[in-house]
Amino acid sequence: MDSVRIFDTTLRDGEQSPGFSMNTEEKIRMARQLAALGVDVIEAGFPISSRGDLEAVQQVAKEVRTVPIAALARAKQQDVNAAIEALEPAAAPRLHIFLATSDLHLRVKLNMTREQALEAISSMIRLGRKHVGEVEFSAEDAGRTDIGFLCQVCQVAVDAGATILNLPDTVGYAVPDEYGAMFEQVRTHLDDPQGITLSAHCHDDLGLAVANSLAAVRAGVRQIECTVNGIGERAGNAALEEIAVALAVRKESFGVTTGIKLDELFRSSRMLTEITGAVVAPNKAVVGANAFAHEAGIHQDGIIKNPLTYEIISPETVGVPSRSFVLGKHSGRNALKVSLRTLGYEPSDEELAECYKRVTTLADEAKQVRPRDLVAIAHEVMRRRPTAVAAEASSAA
């Protein structure tokens, strides 16, 4: 089966989001976990942004030897030189050069003509190839670039020596069918050249980053750029854990695999949360606190009978220790019975009914019943058993 490479940019694009910056030691720690996770490339930073970031990329490259390390550079000589310096210790370096290609960015941000852009792309890729064996080119704002010019850009990049072409939805504007069609047009223009990998990099401004990334896979893209927990500029990037699980669960539909070790996903998510202090939303897919939690009685009953009724993947598969039954006003008797057994109680039918009555009453007031609340209810109800009453009377005598 064909494979899709996972290019992780948690340490670069992810770190650029407000409040997510990491020091060198934190980057090294996270990079080691990304290697354990099985990503194919780690983008460690943007060396020209600061001397500290350049040195952080160098240290990651020294410490992590089993995964290619990438460094980002604008299509400017000083950027490329800084990235080359940062990548010098890497066992398998990748230089990642980018330049905006939409007319809006060229005119307003860069004050460049299309011709000047093409010259910068060609000259900087050629410069990079003299020092680094693998060069990736990204056409920033590709999703809003004139398709004819985008095809021309890609041809120039390939002719200059780039072997990976990344066409980002930089501002999260694309929708899946349009984004997929863009790659198909570029593939047709390039005539599917051997040795060239197309890459997708999607932002989540409209909540479509993962959907757009999967559409790109259907269109022939074989590298996805993403981040753990979906962190990144503004609304974030496509979430690595969601893409990896989607491609695994729907393997027959997409016809591709990844090298991601799914059982390391939860650990990776928790490590990033610990480093950044930013907790993921409870309803976050795959790694959120509620991803494998069930409160509705109908769902709980189905899970007890067969987890496949309401879970398309087991929690253990992605490294979550276990599913949980949340006791609230929507919970059912079967889930309550299982929860009581977990705590060491074996209620009779009458005791279960009384516990259920008290749990629902408390849930109406407190929204959720905590384990300690359930213990208190169970103790109050079940200590009145005849055997318990007799024991109390005997003790009193």
Can you give the C-alpha Rg of the chain in angstroms? Answer: 27
Is residue 230 within 8 A of residue 259, CB to CB? The reply is: no
- Residue 106: strand, helix, or coil: helix
CA angle 75, 80, 86 (to 5 degrees): 145
- Structural domains in the chain, sorted by start: 2-276 (3.20.20.70), 293-387 (no CATH)
What the block records as the tokens of 169 is 């939805």
Judging by DSSP bridges, how do beta strands 5-8 and 135-140 pair with one another?
Answer: unpaired
CA dist 73 and 83 (Å) reads: 6
User: Which tens digits make up the pLDDT trace of 191-240?
Assistant: 988 999 999 999 999 999 999 999 999 999 999 999 999 999 999 999 99
**pLDDT score for 387:** 46
**pLDDT score for 391:** 40
**Quick one: average pLDDT of 285-313?**
87
Question: Would residue 27 be called left, alpha or beta, if left means φ above 0 and alpha means ψ between -120 and 50 degrees?
Answer: alpha
Decide if pLDDT at 389 tops 50: no
**What confidence tier does 332 reach under pLDDT thresholds 50, 70, 90?**
confident
Task: Enumerate the β-bridge partners of residue 199.
Answer: 166, 223
**What confidence tier does 341 reach under pLDDT thresholds 50, 70, 90?**
confident
Decide if pLDDT at 307 tops 90: no
**Quick one: average pLDDT of 333-345?**
85
* DSSP, residue by residue, 136-167: EEEEETGGGS-HHHHHHHHHHHHHHT--EEE-
Helices (H), the chain: 24-37, 51-63, 77-87, 103-104, 114-129, 147-160, 176-190, 209-218, 240-249, 251-254, 265-276, 297-305, 333-342, 349-366, 371-382, 386-396
**Quick one: average pLDDT of 73-87?**
98
CA angle 270, 46, 87 (to 5 degrees): 100
**Quick one: average pLDDT of 24-31?**
97
- Residue 333: strand, helix, or coil: helix
Q: How many CB atoms lie within 10 A of CB 318?
A: 24
Decide if pLDDT at 92 tops 70: yes
- Residue 209: strand, helix, or coil: helix
CA dist 368 and 356 (Å) reads: 13
**pLDDT score for 395:** 44
Which residue in this structure is represented by tokens 């509705």? 296
User: Which tens digits make up the pLDDT trace of 49-73?
Assistant: 999 999 999 999 999 999 999 999 9
What the block records as the tokens of 100 is 């905006």
**pLDDT score for 304:** 83
**How high does pLDDT run on average in the chain?**
92
Minimal CA–CA distance to 238: which of 274, 196, 282, 206? 206
Decide if pLDDT at 245 tops 50: yes
**pLDDT score for 342:** 79
**Quick one: average pLDDT of 64-91?**
98
**Quick one: average pLDDT of 335-350?**
87
User: Which tens digits make up the pLDDT trace of 144-178?
Assistant: 999 999 999 999 999 999 999 999 999 999 999 99
**pLDDT score for 176:** 98
Single-letter amino acid, residue 104: L
Read off φ and ψ for residue 141, nearest 5 degrees: 60, 35
Is residue 164 within 8 A of residue 125, CB to CB? The reply is: no
**pLDDT score for 220:** 97
**pLDDT score for 374:** 86
Single-letter amino acid, residue 245: V
Distances (CA, A) of 305 to 310, 311, 316, 328, 335: 10, 12, 18, 20, 11
Q: What is the dihedral of CA 346, 349, 354, 355, to 10 degrees?
A: 30
Sign for the CA dihedral angle at 254, 255, 257, 262 comes to positive
Minimal CA–CA distance to 171: which of 105, 239, 243? 105
Minimal CA–CA distance to 46: which of 108, 100, 96, 116? 96
**pLDDT score for 11:** 97
**pLDDT score for 293:** 82
**pLDDT score for 388:** 43
Among 40-44, 78-82, 125-129, 319-323, the minimum mean pLDDT is found in: 319-323
Please give the model's pTM, rounded to 2 decimal places. Answer: 0.87
